[in-house]
Structure 1
Amino acid sequence: MDNQEKPVEKKKLSLNVVSNKEHKGFGAGSIDLSQVACVIIDNGEAYIDVGAMHAKSKIEKGIKFSPDKANVPNGRPAWIVWVAVDRNEGGSYYAGATSCEMLIDSEARRGWKILPDHVNRLDASLKRKYMLDNIGPVEKEALRKLLEEHNLEWWNHSPQALKDLLA
């Protein structure tokens, strides 16, 4: 085994590209998250934030989370959207999208989220499901705009079910 460290390349923020690498080493059989991107919707704006995969997105940093909404009386609503990308004969497309609600009070450094819900919805996205029932029209429009602007070809290849949810 080679112990030399390879230089780390800086990557620009983007949705993960579908890869065909097979992994049979340590952790084989675990969930492959390389085809999932993290989108944050906050104040009517959607943006990609890879830190959300480890609860270290821009809006989550420095926030102490509680599973009790009463602990965050002045929290603003925000969402993490897990977006899975897949590929078929037509090309890559947005194969799954699930939204997870949070409340963030940046001033008090407090937040609310239900971690099991975030995990279950991440799993649902990986299983090619669309669950966007907890976001409103402003958030849906922001998400649709981000997905279209990120890669219009992927958006055009996506199932009509996703387009209808974000119409």
Structure 2
Amino acid sequence: MQKLNLTGTSKHQTDDQMKGLSAVFLDGDEVFIDNGAIHAKSRLEVGVKFVDDQSAVPDARHIQGLWITLKRQENGLGYAGAMPFDLWIDDSTKMGYKKLSEQVNQMDKAVRGQVDVQGLPREVVNKLGAHLQKIRPDLWENASDSFRQAFSS
């Protein structure tokens, strides 16, 4: 397939910035990565109609998301950015609520290497951190100091 260079450049900067971006979800006790979230097509979001008013989905469950990014560090590729976001989804009505602008802003901050998990409950931070450390110990070892510090107990 031929690549269309609609921007007039041989490489689009956003593609390069997004290569190291992933989304980690904590849904109940399950922690998983779903890169479909980058384009609002995670397994949680597909088939869900999102509304602008959270009160329209009163029986929704809260799902914690975390944008994480990778960056080449001194010793190799490692975790660099981490910014949280929220989803509320009611499976019975296939309706949900999310603050899209906040999600995009948090994604941008993660891409820029910012780490801020202070607003999350410690147990959530611990679960997400343990999962990231377990799935790729090499990325954890090469993580930025700010990333590891944010997830240390």
* Alignment TM-score > 0.5, same fold: yes
How far 1:49 sits from its partner (Å)? 0.8
Partner of 2:6: none
Match of 1:30 in 2: 14
Alpha-carbon distance between aligned partners in 2 of 1:101 and 1:134, rounded to the nearest angstrom:
12
Please show how residues 10-159 of structure 1 align to structure 2 within 5 Å.
24-25=9-10, 28-30=12-14, 32-159=17-144
TM-superposed deviation, 1:124: 0.1
Aligned-pair distance for 1:153?
2.0
Q: How many pairs align?
A: 145
Which whole-Å CA distance do the structure 2 matches of 1:112 and 1:142 have between them?
23
Alpha-carbon shift at residue 45 of structure 1 (Å): 2.2
Output the TM-score relative to the length of structure 1: 0.78
C-alpha displacement of 1:132: 1.9
Q: Tell me, what secondary structure is at the counterpart of 1:130?
A: coil
Instruction: Name the one with the larger helix percent.
Output: 2
Partner of 1:13: none
In structure 2, C-alpha distance between the alignment counterparts of 1:112 and 1:47, rounded to whole Å: 20
Question: Alpha carbons of 1:112 and 1:33: their partners in 2 closer, same or farther (altered >3 Å)?
Answer: same
RMSD of equivalent CA atoms: 1.8
Query: Percent identity among equivalent residues?
Result: 26
TM-score in terms of structure 2 length: 0.85
- TM-superposition CA deviations, 1:53-83 (whole Å, max 9, x none): 1111111111111121111111111122111
Q: Which runs of 5+ in 2 are unaligned?
A: 3-8
